[in-house]
Amino acid sequence: MADPTIEALYEESRLFPPPPNVLEGAEVTSREIYERGRDPIAYWEQEASHIQWRTPWTSVLDWSNPPFARWFVDATLNVTESCLDRHAEATPDKVAYYFEGEEGDTRVITYRQLLEDVCRLANGLAQLGVSKGDRVAIYMGMIPEFPMALLACARLGAVHSVVFGGFSADALADRINDAQASVVITCDQSRRKGQTIDLKRITDQALERCPSVHHVVVVERTGADVPMTTGRDVRYHDLVADQPAERPATETSSEDPLYILYTSGTTGKPKGIVHTTGGYLVGVSSTHRLVFDLRPDDVYWCTADIGWVTGHSYIVYGPLANGTTSVLYEGVPDYPDRDRYWAIIEKYRVTQLYTAPTSIRTFMKWGDEYPGRHDLSSLRVIGTVGEPINPEAWMWYREVIGQNRCPVVDTWWQTETGAMVIAPIPTVTPTKPGSATIPLPGYQADIVDDNGESVPLGGGGYLVLTHPWPSMARTIFGDPQRYIDTYWARFSDREHNVWRYFAGDGAKRDNDGYFWLLGRVDDVMNVSGHRISTLEVESALVDHPAVAEAAVIGRADPITGQAIAAFVTLRAGIVGDDALLAALRDHVAERIGKIARPASIVFTDELPKTRSGKIMRRLLRDISEQRQLGDVTTLANADVVAEIAARAQAQQTPSDDR
């Protein structure tokens, strides 16, 4: 191939086999499971035996109308029977959630209590007129009533649409209107970093333009005095007070919708990703068991917010279907101090931690002192999700948090895939720092070039999934054509009935067949005709001992097409001067090649991030190209933008300085 789609430049040769201590007592220790996974139909059918069905399926997969799949055709179930009833019966006193409030208040919720509370709320919602197929918007902070709200909807066969509790009134209103939700469940306020956020007030503002909403259920979290609209608003505690603690689960088909979750695309309005019940529950429960080497006495903790898909799949549905004991934490990692996560791990003897690369890089920046204060010896498997993790951050996670004892599971997936797709099995798959390794059993992935041709090992291109999987998104709510256009049009060949799901990510595959995610394809730069991943340059920068975090973008350049612009946060105590700037450019040149040497480097105390922690590269591109900045109100730290812009102008070096 003369012109590789994406050049793979960053070489990583470290390999970590599963540590012997993890193998002891593990359920899956042989590669045979990958063999089994080569037949996805047989594999997923077997995995389906772990959840509870009412009526069995007539066939595992109906793919006669691609790209619209039906899994476990004609089967019926209610997901809450798998998540609650069977555990409430078999192990009623087993803890489902250890809740840890940000201020240190705690609640312990057993499976029996969880089932009863969910039934009470389901009865209350039914009284408000909610029934099968209705949409319910949920806008809450991380308290136990949040998962209860999702499950109460599921109990009734209603469709929940969770809106992240950091979104604005406008974003909430848009999502409510798109889904035509009839009820909203919210809190008086949520807590974050010692402050309160007025969720009810924001909801009221949103509802000024949401005619579909008839009722608002308000959970009391802080006890703040919030205005209640008579006839519309009802207090959660009043609603559930006299409800029976039982509620028969509504039977749903395996293809009835379970939820809608909005995800932003590069352009246009948010897409309402639709997930259904049967296949979704099979996918999330199976991957959760396998990738976390789950055992009955584990205490598992996923630090995500339930407002994102990670929380839906790996705080609520996957763990509960598996009867897991989880930690549910309300707040931020640096309240009251920067050791809060490590204190929680020590307190509950957490065995699995699942967090995000952006957090890991932040912990790295804060320094080893904070984890050093606590006993982390209970940890067995540690995971990451959400964006590519740089090899150095991966190594820090392994060494400082995992203490060289815990396999790191880097899990690649998306809102649209519903469940993990590419990730190691910690008791089987040797890992490499920065690689999500290989597709899990039951999945088929490939890397293709611009023409849709499969790229041989060693090359880079676009990541596609070549066989349907049970937890795949079924459509975009109200817009099936957009579902086809966004995900299936680019690399499918309809004439020959070849269907390939395009994830929007660039990836390369090394000679061992390991996948290396390179970020969204719009994060690929073209410098002098060379296509270079921003991630590889970032990894090289973070590889330098002075650097905590780096973001790299391609800015328009009259000579080279794009020039590489880097934004760098230094580790505590290090000063960014001209000497360091030169050293970093040399370091990248040394690590990857001169072609990847940043044309400019701006030192900044923080990088602009979305509320879910993703670096806003688009904004950095706007700053670098001196464009008028768009709306920054969805940023978690909007005030850093002006500072970066000022420094960027002062520091830009000419692009021919290479």
Binding mask 310-339 for ligand PRX (x = CB under 6 A): x-----------------------------
Nearer Cβ to ligand PRX (173/503): 503
In sequence order, what are the beta bridge partners of 464? Answer: 446, 502
Q: Does 409 bind ligand PRX (CB under 6 A)?
A: no
Q: Please state the three-class secondary structure of 186-224 as a single string.
A: EECCEEECCEEECHHHHHHHHHCCCCCCCEEEEECCCCC
Q: Does 437 bind ligand PRX (CB under 6 A)?
A: no
Give DSSP secondary structure letters for 585-645: HHHHHHHT-GGG--SEEEE-SS--BBTTS-B-HHHHHHHHTTPPP---TTBTTTTHHHHHH
Of 518, 406, 399, nearest to 462 by C-alpha is 518
- Stretch of 127-135, 157-165, 483-491, 501-509 contacting ligand PRX, by CB under 6 A: 501-509
Q: How crowded is residue 131: how many other Cβ atoms within 10 Å of its Cβ? A: 12
Closest to ligand PRX by CB, 175 or 658: 175
Tokens of 321: 């279907």
Instruction: Pick between residue 323 and residue 426 the one whose CB is nearest to ligand PRX.
Output: 426
Residues 465 and 416: their CA atoms lie apart, in Å, by 12
By CB under 6 A, tell whether 503 contacts ligand PRX.
yes
Could you give the CA distance from residue 609 to residue 358 in angstroms, rounded to a whole number? Answer: 9
Which of these segments, 32-40, 212-220, 395-403, 500-508, binds ligand PRX (CB under 6 A)?
500-508
Task: Give me the residues paired with residue 302 across strands.
Answer: 354
Regarding 263 and contact with ligand PRX (CB under 6 A), the answer is yes
According to DSSP, the residues that pair with 185 across neighbouring strands are 138, 217
270 sits near ligand PRX (criterion: CB under 6 A)? no
Shortest spacing between CB 506 and ligand PRX, in angstroms: 9
497 in the Ramachandran plot: left (φ > 0), alpha (ψ -120 to 50) or beta? Answer: left
Q: Which stretch binds ligand PRX (CB under 6 A): 48-56, 97-105, 201-209, 405-413?
A: 405-413
Q: Which residue among 411, 427, 431, 486 contacts ligand PRX (CB under 6 A)?
A: 411
Q: Which residues pair with 170 in a beta bridge?
A: none
The rounded distance, in Å, linking the Cα atoms of 628 and 641 is: 12
* C-alpha span between 568 and 591 (Å, rounded): 17
| Residue 256 lies near ligand PRX (rule: CB under 6 A) | no
Pick one of 414, 431, 475, 486: the residue that binds ligand PRX (CB under 6 A). 414
- CB nearer ligand PRX, residue 101 or residue 165: 165
User: In the bound complex, what is the minimum distance in angstroms from residue 273's beta carbon to ligand PRX?
Assistant: 8
Place of tokens 């964006």: 387
Interface stretch with ligand PRX, choices 81-89, 278-286, 502-510, 635-643 (CB under 6 A)? 502-510
Whole-number minimum distance, CB 614 to ligand PRX, in Å? 8
Distance CA 584, CA 541 (A): 7
Please report whether residue 130 would count as binding ligand PRX according to CB under 6 A. no
263 versus 653: smaller Cβ distance to ligand PRX: 263
Element (H, E) at 62: strand 59-62
Which residue number, 190 or 414, has a Cβ lying nearer to ligand PRX?
414
Q: Taking Cα atoms as reference points, which of 471, 524, 536, 458 lies closest to residue 501? A: 471
From 119-127, 278-286, 516-524, 571-579, give the range in contact with ligand PRX by CB under 6 A. 516-524
β partners of residue 567:
551, 602
Q: With binding defined as CB under 6 A, does residue 410 bind ligand PRX? A: yes
Dist. CA 437–CA 439, nearest whole Å: 7
Torsion sign across C-alpha atoms 468, 469, 473, 475: positive
If one asks whether residue 387 binds ligand PRX (CB under 6 A), the answer comes out as yes
Which stretch, 91-99, 386-394, 439-447, 469-477, contacts ligand PRX (CB under 6 A)? 386-394
Distance, in Å, from the CA atom of 67 to the CA atom of 490, rounded to the nearest integer, reads: 13
Nearer to ligand PRX, 388 or 608 (CB): 388
Smallest distance, Å, CB 461 to ligand PRX?
15
Question: Smaller CB distance to ligand PRX: residue 325 or 390?
Answer: 390
Find the angle CA(593)-CA(646)-CA(388) to the nearest 5 degrees: 40
- 306 lies in the binding site for ligand PRX (CB under 6 A): no
**Residue 385 makes contact with ligand PRX by CB under 6 A:** yes
Q: Does 388 bind ligand PRX (CB under 6 A)?
A: yes
Residue range at the interface with ligand PRX (CB under 6 A); choices 238-246, 407-415, 446-454, 526-534: 407-415
In 3D space, the residue among 37, 33, 54 whose CA is nearest the CA of residue 45 turns out to be 37
Q: Is-contact 118 148, C-beta < 8 A?
A: yes
CB atoms within 10 A of CB 90: 10
Q: 102 or 387, CB closer to ligand PRX? A: 387
Q: How far is the CB of 463 from ligand PRX (least distance, A)?
A: 8
For ligand PRX, which is the closer residue by CB, 439 or 519? 519
- Cis omega (within 30 of 0) for bond into 430: no
Tell me: does residue 653 bind ligand PRX (CB under 6 A): no
Q: Which is nearer to ligand PRX, 203 or 287 (CB)?
A: 287
Q: Is 436 in the site for ligand PRX (CB under 6 A)?
A: yes
520 near ligand PRX, rule: CB under 6 A: yes
Spatial distance between the Cα atoms of 446 and 501, rounded to a whole number of angstroms: 10
State yes or no: residue 471 binds ligand PRX (CB under 6 A). no
Interface size with ligand PRX, residues (CB under 6 A): 20
> What is the smallest separation between the CB atom of 200 and ligand PRX, expressed in angstroms?
27
Name the strand (E) or helix (H) holding 372: helix 369-372
- Residue 122 beta carbon to ligand PRX: minimum distance, rounded to whole angstroms: 28
- CA gap 82, 279 in Å, rounded: 13
What is the three-class DSSP state of 327? strand
Closer CB to ligand PRX, 210 or 261, in the complex: 261
CA-based nearest residue to 647, from 593, 603, 616: 603
The span from the CA of 207 to the CA of 184, in Å, is 9
Task: Give whichever of 45 and 410 is closer to ligand PRX, judged by the CB atom.
Answer: 410
Minimum gap (Å) between residue 503 Cβ and ligand PRX: 5
Residue 305 as a binder of ligand PRX (CB under 6 A): the answer is no
Within 345-374, the residues that bind ligand PRX by CB under 6 A are: none
Provide the binding-site residues for ligand PRX, judged by CB under 6 A. 263, 309-310, 385-388, 410-415, 436, 503-505, 517, 519-520
